[in-house]
Amino acid sequence: MFKRKLTVLAIAGTFLVSLAPNASVNAETKVEKKQAEVDKFQSQFKKLSNDVKKIDQKIKDTKAKIQSKKEEISETQKIIQDKNARITYLQDRIEKRNEMLEDRLVAMQKQPKVNLVTDVLFNSDGIVDFFNRLNSITTLFEADQDIIKEQESEQAEVEKEKQLVNEKKESLVKAKEDLVAQESDLSKSQAAKEKSLRSAEYRLKLAVKELQDAKEDVRVRQLEQQSLELAELSNDSDDSSSSASGNAGPSENEGPIASGNAIVDFAMQYQGVPYVFGGTSPSGFDCSGFIWYVYSHNGYGFSRANVKSYWNMATKISSPQPGDLVFLENTYINGPSHMGIYIGGNKMVHAGSKGIGTISLSSSWVRSHFLGYGRF
């Protein structure tokens, strides 16, 4: 008997490796769709990230230009101040020269009968003194004229430079205002892009999470399917020897059908309904969905839950009656992971790999994963 069980388990292991059950077409399609969504959102996120980086660089460049224009404006203002100081200095000199010339005119007007040339001619001590005096007057007048021309020329030049500098300042101020407007527009565009980026990042994270969940669903379905197929192989080999299976794991209970008879009868009518991961209707059941459906149609009002939750809800018992629950653990995930309804004769009805059917509690698979009995 022991050798036979080893042979069966070896065959089962080989069969499972070669079988490598796939998830349903719908599950695989869901993974593909989620992967496509992730790819799309990743592309959007990368594009928006690049757009934000470009805008950031433009804003930095614009701020640098604004700072440069501010420095140019500051330098221009210094030049204007220097030019204004130069103009003030020259105007002051012109004023003083004008005052000197006016004083001379006033002095000459106080002696209207005296001709300057005649005075020089008749009051000279000699021909040499005459020419000396005449030369002095000529030099004086020429110096005044030169000063006036020089001052007027310098003032005209400075006024022209001042006009040019003012025009440049206006140009710089206008350029600065344009750059500030550009910066404002860029900041608004940046804010909009960053908002879109945050939205794209959220959608991307959500799509990645959904993709991971979809892949996990496929993995869990594969593991559960493998476990249930191993149960079928184990059940097929152990059915003929269930009464001689030893005393490990759950024991056979041939007690009379009592209050659970209605539950068993109701459950057994669904034999052959296909296994569907997450299924809760006669179109397809998984193990906990089958339990919920049977009990909810027999006066029990609890909600749909997983095996672990039902294990925590159930009252633990040692001697099951028909209609009680059989719990298994570590079949494809750690902890309570599979369950069925005890129907008597050391068997339970459950959602197996081939759909709703019965399995012996003495099978090696059940014995190796047996957790306990429970009652709602």
**Which residues does the annotation mark as catalytic?**
287, 338, 350
**Exposure on the CB side of residue 259, measured as CA atoms within 13 A:** 6
Give the Cα separation of 101 and 107 in Å (integer). Answer: 10
Helical pair 261-268 and 287-296, crossing angle rounded to 10 deg: 120
Residue 182 CA to residue 39 CA, distance in Å, equals 34
Residue 347 contacts residue 339 (beta carbons within 8 Å): no
CB 352 within 8 A of CB 231: yes
Q: Which of 348, 376, 362 is nearest to 268 (CA)?
A: 348
> Interior CA angle at 163 toward 160 and 165, to 5°?
110
Strand partners, 317: 373
Least Cα distance to 373 among 344, 352, 353, 351 occurs for 344
Asked if 16 and 224 count as a contact pair (C-beta separation under 8 A), the reply is no
Contact 349, 358 (CB under 8 A): yes
Buried b (16+ CB within 10 A) or exposed e, 35-62: eebbeebeebbeebeebbeebeebbeeb
